[in-house]
Amino acid sequence: MENRKKGRVMSGIRSTGFLHLGNYFGAIRNYVRMQEEYDCFFMVADIHTLTTHPDTKELKPNVHRVLAENIACGLDPEKVALYCQSHVFETAELYLYLNMLAYKGELEKTTTFKDKVRQHPENVNAGLLTYPVLMAADILLQRASYVPVGKDQEQHLEMSRNFANRFNHRYGEVFPEPYAFNFGEDLVKVPGLDGSGKMSKSENQNATIFLADDDETIRKKVMKAKTDAGPTTPNTPMPDYIANIFGLMKLVSAPEVIARYENDYNQAVIRYGDMKKQLAEDMVNFVAPIREKTEAIRNDEVYLRRVMELGAEKARKSAAETMEKVREVMGLKYY
């Protein structure tokens, strides 16, 4: 890809679960902005899924859906490398070499590993233990410096830096140090509709708007959002659950609409029923085109196949270059 861009970005997208507005405003929207300025590699982490979901029946529809959702949100497979982890065979080779640089003790101390052991004591496999090594292989294979991830992945990223440094010191400089990257802005936290916490795949599904939700579902969820009888005196401090509704409006509603409700609140004449109806319509108008586009892409297997082939070609080209260097500095060339 072009070298005129500012640097190399790489991130992995889990293929389990549906995307929601929290994913959109917290991550995907940033990817879409990055693709203009950076050399981007976005990967569906299907191999990682096997560490916890050994049954592969669901993989194909899930991979298709995640690809379709990301493209519908604005990722352009022509501009970025959008690919599946399992299609880049070089990943397995680098993972193998990095495993010799990863210590049992540090892997066992990883927070996500300890959580998984607690949740699934019957399936503590070696892949789960070396999950951070595989993630490091994904990143280092593309020699990426910038990795847009959430807080929950920071420990893994720190481990990736450690493996990169160990490799570089032991064998020779091949890998840049990868750092978390959020486009220079604080991550947007999208509040849930129940007045507490943020939108999430697993927690309260009624407090989360999914990109696949139909219009009626969106309306129902929004109308159920927690409110109260409203302020009785002007300029009352706002309770959290009301501030959250304003926060959600700021993501999807027009500035003059928000200003009007803020004004109503400060005058103590606000009607939350009207406000929620407005928010519901603005959310429907935001989500519906993405949902419809996702459906169209999901049903176009020929297009999806082309996307995956193109992505794998780009990712494998740069991976092959990296592995040439890796084998060379490791001294694995015997002739």
Asked whether the beta carbons of 251 and 21 are under 8 A apart, the reply is yes
According to CB under 6 A, which one of 8, 9, 10, 107 is a site residue for ligand TRP? 10
Q: Which one is catalytic: 5, 79, 201, 293?
A: 201
Among 126, 135, 148, 131, which Cα is nearest to 31's? 148
According to CB under 6 A, which one of 39, 46, 138, 213 is a site residue for ligand TRP? 138
**319: contact with ligand TRP by CB under 6 A:** no
CB nearer ligand TRP, residue 75 or residue 252: 75
42: three-class secondary structure by DSSP: strand
Least distance from ligand TRP to the Cβ atom of residue 48, Å: 5
For residues 143 and 329, what is the distance between their CA atoms, to the nearest angstrom? Answer: 15
Least distance from ligand TRP to the Cβ atom of residue 334, Å: 32
Q: Which stretch binds ligand TRP (CB under 6 A): 59-67, 132-140, 234-242, 257-265?
A: 132-140
41: three-class secondary structure by DSSP: strand
Asked whether the beta carbons of 228 and 265 are under 8 A apart, the reply is no
Least distance from ligand TRP to the Cβ atom of residue 157, Å: 7
DSSP 189: P
According to CB under 6 A, which one of 8, 12, 107, 283 is a site residue for ligand TRP? 12
Asked whether the beta carbons of 245 and 276 are under 8 A apart, the reply is yes
For residue 198, indicate whether it is catalytic: yes
39-44/8-13 β-pairing: parallel
According to CB under 6 A, which one of 153, 227, 294, 318 is a site residue for ligand TRP? 153
**22: contact with ligand TRP by CB under 6 A:** no
Q: For 229, what's the count of Cα atoms within 13 Å in the CB-facing half-sphere?
A: 2
Least distance from ligand TRP to the Cβ atom of residue 325, Å: 20
For residue 60, indicate whether it is catalytic: no
**11: contact with ligand TRP by CB under 6 A:** yes
Beta sheet of 146-147, edge-to-edge order? 81-84, 39-44, 8-13, 146-147, 179-180
Asked whether the beta carbons of 19 and 69 are under 8 A apart, the reply is yes
For residue 79, indicate whether it is catalytic: no
CB nearer ligand TRP, residue 136 or residue 279: 136
Q: Which two tokens stand for residue 48?
A: 């990682």
For residues 71 and 6, what is the distance between their CA atoms, to the nearest angstrom? Answer: 22
Asked whether the beta carbons of 303 and 297 are under 8 A apart, the reply is yes
179-180/146-147 β-pairing: parallel
**147: contact with ligand TRP by CB under 6 A:** yes
Total interface residues for ligand TRP by CB under 6 A = 13
Least distance from ligand TRP to the Cβ atom of residue 85, Å: 7
**51: contact with ligand TRP by CB under 6 A:** no
- List interacting residues with ligand TRP (CB under 6 A): 10-12, 14, 45, 48, 135, 138-139, 147, 149, 153, 156
Task: Provide the annotated active-site residues.
Answer: 116, 198, 201
